[in-house]
Amino acid sequence: MLMGILLWLGTFLGMEGFAWFTHKYIMHGIMWNWHESHHVHHKNKLEKNDLFSVVFGISSTLTIIVGAEIPAYWPLFYIGLGIATYGIFYFIFHDIIVHRRIKIKYKAGSAYMKRIMKAHYVHHEVHTKKGAEAFGFLYAPKKYQ
């Protein structure tokens, strides 16, 4: 059980690095045609960029199922849970708190939330494939304070 918890937590924490890399080199690279919809103003409820959530959700779900159903692959269950947990945090932070895709009243009070939100707003000052900075989702360097 301890190993499972460590795998879950390690995967959750490691997802920030994976997300940063994917955001910088994939979303702002070869998959810009999906991600661009997130950098332009629109009135649609959904955007092409949401397909990334579908891809990561399917990956997480399949990993959980394989880990739960095939005893030899039990670590995949906890890895899938770590990916899913990161996805939940991402959705709450990015889609609800920052982009207000679900309308809530929220005002950042902590230094952490102010910093991460500022970094994300700095990222969105650039509406093109190149030139953006601050690619993390749940971590931002102190320079964004």
Task: Give residue-wise pLDDT tens across range 20-58.
Answer: 999 999 999 999 999 999 999 888 999 999 999 999 999
pLDDT of residue 12: 98
Q: Identify whether the C-beta of residue 138 lies closer than 8 Å to the C-beta of residue 93.
A: yes
Residue 69 lies in a domain: yes
pLDDT of residue 43: 87
Q: What mean pLDDT do residues 79-108 have?
A: 94
Average pLDDT, rounded, for the chain = 96
Residue 90 lies in a domain: yes
Give dist(CA 68, CA 129) in Å, integer.
Answer: 39
Q: What is the dihedral of CA 74, 19, 42, 46, to 10 degrees?
A: 0
pLDDT tens digits, 102-122: 989 999 999 999 999 999 999
Total number of domains in the chain: 1
Residue 143 lies in a domain: no
Residue 46 lies in a domain: yes
Its pTM stands at: 0.93
Structural domain that includes position 24: 2-105
